[in-house]
Structure 1
Amino acid sequence: MDADFAIVGGGIVGLSVALGLLDAGQSVVVLDGSDADPKASRGNFGLIWLQGKGVHEPRYARWSKESADLWPGFAANLKEASGVDVGLRQDGGLDLHFNDDSLADAVTEHEALQAELGADYPFEILSPETLSIEEPEIGPKVTSAILHHGDGHVDPLALITALSGAVVAQGGRIIGATSVSDIAARAGAEEGFRLTCADGAEIQAAKVVLAAGLGSAQLGPSLGFAAPLRPERGQILITEKLPPLIRRPSLIARQDRAGGIQIGATNEDVGMDRRVTLDGMAKLAAEAVDAYPVLARAQVLRAWGALRVMSPDGLPIYQESPTCPGAFLISCHSGVTLAAVHATSLPSWLLRRDYAPDLEVFGETRFAA
């Protein structure tokens, strides 16, 4: 065997899981795809975000909250292991509203979640007066905002670098530019799996984790997974470096630690098309200027599109194969938010520990109904 676990996918999800398994004493090899693959992690907005998550499934809200609470310690551990500061800022995030109706709908959702989670779901409604003090650059078109105190953001590219460094420092192997073309359970008395790469190389592992994003939809069925995953394009803009303008992130914009304003993101059902469009960029820019008028003078330096990995109901998928025990599917579109819990609590589920979290609600059986 080359490793106890082979993880297919070297993005934020795969690397977080790998780090957790290494901490649990497992040997791990991570197989990362080629640069041509649609890697969601490379186009991530970098938010640690609880607002609105789990409205129809409180277990998701709790799982996200557990991870958000772990993030300060997780970021510190990553820096110690890799030497990379991921730029965590977690003093709340804003849900901006341009009319009273949208605010009322959001408050109803937040109150429902607070009824389920109690003190674990702290939020407050900011009046225009308070908002202008908290965020002086917010424009008059924004009528109110919801401040959720557990939200925050990181530098997503620094996070990938830190995770990669920590995995290697812990003894894990990362094999880059390696697309997996086939995974098969080993026959006969030999247990485990054989992973065949596009270049013909083979990896043997006792267990395998599919964390390949949209690639899991192609590899999953041979291992007994439905893997009903679809792409959703998100376009993002980033401006020149500016003086401090935005204190807390919102779903419209955030200011990174270098001073650039990241503006996003669209939600588009366009298949595997990652291209940016004039229409998409124009809509993003217009909404950003409505929220922060000062950005009308900012120069946009870059724009890109990336593909989110979406399940039919938008929730994560955690599933062990019903036909190939030891094969696991992990998929979500909130890899940054959930990175901390993926590196701490999730490995006990993969190792079938008695104290493992109950993730049955996130299994694929929910799609069979």
Structure 2
Amino acid sequence: MSQTHSPDVVIIGAGVVGAACAYYASRSGLSVAVVDRGSVAGGTTGAGEGNLLVSDKEAGPELALALLSARLWRELAAALPAQTEYEPKGGLVVAPDETTLGALRAFADGQRACGVLAAEVGPDELRELEPHLAPGRAGGFHYPQDAQVQPAQAAARLLAASGAARHLGEEVTEVLLRGGRAVGVRTSRRTLLAPAVINAAGTWGGHIASLAGTTLPVMPRRGFVLVTEPLPRVVRHKVYAADYIADVASDSAALQSSAVVEGTPAGPVLIGATRERVGFDRGPSTEALRRLAGQAARLFPVLAGVRVLRSYHGFRPYLPDHLPAIGPDPRVPGLLHACGHEGAGIGLAPATGALIAAVLTGAAPPLPLAPFRPERFEEPGEPPPASPSAAPPASPPRHHTPEEHP
């Protein structure tokens, strides 16, 4: 084992959330070390689509986090290299019938009160925004604040810009405790001492918490994505069916799927999204892929004859109330959590990093930390917090068994 190092902060996890924590901590004047058992963006981040969404979030703490992140991503897009592929393409949520459109209208009214830009569009305007969209839709809503990045590049560029020391391919085997306080970590190669340890381990956040002698009920939620052959820009926005919002808010463990379709600067079209809780099962699911392909073709008939070059999948870090854990853990002083963002980690990463940096430096946080308290799942006499998306827009009844993109 190599010699001991002593930065101000040790971050466990080199995904986009860990990279954002490193970036904002270093901008606050702190020395940072990042450790990961794999590579940069080697977990959930690298299996994501790069969604930066406000459109799928109900008024509440997560939407506030998303709006702050949307502003910070715009700033980062100007500061980071172009390889991040930041694209403010906007989102388009499509309703199949008047009932669903009415539910979307009520949903958007609540969002607008929080600062979201949402414009209702009729059937003709839908086709103007997306000429290849299937006819017969009742209407939808356009969200100009939705955007996208290339997730692995975004994480890599954030981490590089942070100047943090990187220790990749090193698994954390121990969170070091002294008098009940976290004072560093031990990896397979070195000891890193620091007055602050940040758990940004994504789906493995619960494991890291247990190494520190505490708990965090993070569970993996698997999702698949299809990648087509390169095409002209047949899909201009991020386009999804309204039932995707209900899937995001669902607590079911069974397979759910709803069409989310978007083009990319490189040409391929990305097609999601499925959700299911199957542990860390990495096996293929022909049923999940079949559903995605069929739903995408119904939304964009032009895709029916397009070749799918590959599929990939990842595991979203799911917490029971659909809110991430962000901030200090009072059960283990010195330990902070920044995980459990489920499918929204790429979009919420900058705001998470800014909140963590504020805690580390004693500055006023840009948003209240209370909704994201890591200890909230163990508070005696209190039920688990209700989901902030407990009342998603109505969608037609499903005829298959129900269960961000990875």
- TM-based fold match above 0.5: yes
Secondary structure of 2:235's aligned partner: coil
Structure 1 residue 298 corresponds to structure 2 residue 306: yes
Change (3 A) 1:76 1:232: same
Secondary structure of 1:62's aligned partner: helix
Q: State the shift of 1:138 in Å.
A: 0.4
Structure 1 residue 4 corresponds to structure 2 residue 2: no
Hey, what does 2:153 align to over in structure 1?
Answer: 158
Hey, what does 1:44 align to over in structure 2?
Answer: 48
Q: Is the 8 A contact 1:75 1:85 kept in 2?
A: no
Aligned letter for 1:105? A
Hey, what does 2:274 align to over in structure 1?
Answer: 266
CA distance in 2, matches of 1:354, 1:250: 37
Q: State the shift of 1:240 in Å.
A: 0.7
What 5-or-longer segments of structure 1 have no aligned partner?
none
Q: Is the 8 A contact 1:210 1:328 kept in 2?
A: yes
Hey, what does 1:87 align to over in structure 2?
Answer: 85
The root-mean-square deviation of aligned C-alpha atoms, in Å, is 2.2
Aligned letter for 2:185? L
Secondary structure of 1:254's aligned partner: strand
Q: Alpha-carbon deviations, 1:106-158, whole Å to 9, x = none?
A: 2222222323x1xx111012111001111101012543221112111111122
Structure 1 residue 218 corresponds to structure 2 residue 207: yes
Among all aligned residue pairs of Structure 1 and Structure 2, give the percentage whose two residues are the same amino acid. 26
What 5-or-longer segments of structure 2 have no aligned partner?
241-259, 383-406
Q: Is the 8 A contact 2:331 2:375 kept in 1?
A: no
Hey, what does 1:340 align to over in structure 2?
Answer: 350
1:318 alignment partner, one of 313, 326, 334: 326
Secondary structure of 1:243's aligned partner: coil
Change (3 A) 1:75 1:344: farther
CA distance in 1, matches of 2:329, 2:236: 44
Within 5 Å, give how 1:212-291 maps onto structure 2: 212-223=201-212, 225-251=214-240, 252-291=260-299
CA distance in 2, matches of 1:77, 1:210: 26
Aligned letter for 2:171? S
Q: State the shift of 1:97 in Å.
A: 2.3
Q: Is the 8 A contact 2:10 2:194 kept in 1?
A: yes
User: Greater shift after overlay, 61-70 or 99-108?
Assistant: 99-108
CA distance in 1, matches of 2:176, 2:261: 44
CA distance in 2, matches of 1:353, 1:238: 43
Q: State the shift of 1:187 in Å.
A: 5.0
Q: State the shift of 1:2 in Å.
A: 2.1
Q: State the shift of 1:200 in Å.
A: 4.9
Q: Is the 8 A contact 2:182 2:332 kept in 1?
A: no
Q: State the shift of 1:345 in Å.
A: 4.6
CA distance in 2, matches of 1:355, 1:301: 44
Structure 1 residue 26 corresponds to structure 2 residue 16: no
CA distance in 2, matches of 1:270, 1:5: 34
Hey, what does 1:71 align to over in structure 2?
Answer: 73
Change (3 A) 1:18 1:348: same
Q: TM-score, normalised by structure 1?
A: 0.90
CA distance in 2, matches of 1:65, 1:335: 13
Structure 1 residue 174 corresponds to structure 2 residue 166: yes
Within 5 Å, give how 1:119-158 maps onto structure 2: 120-158=115-153
Hey, what does 1:99 align to over in structure 2?
Answer: 97
Q: TM-score, normalised by structure 2?
A: 0.82
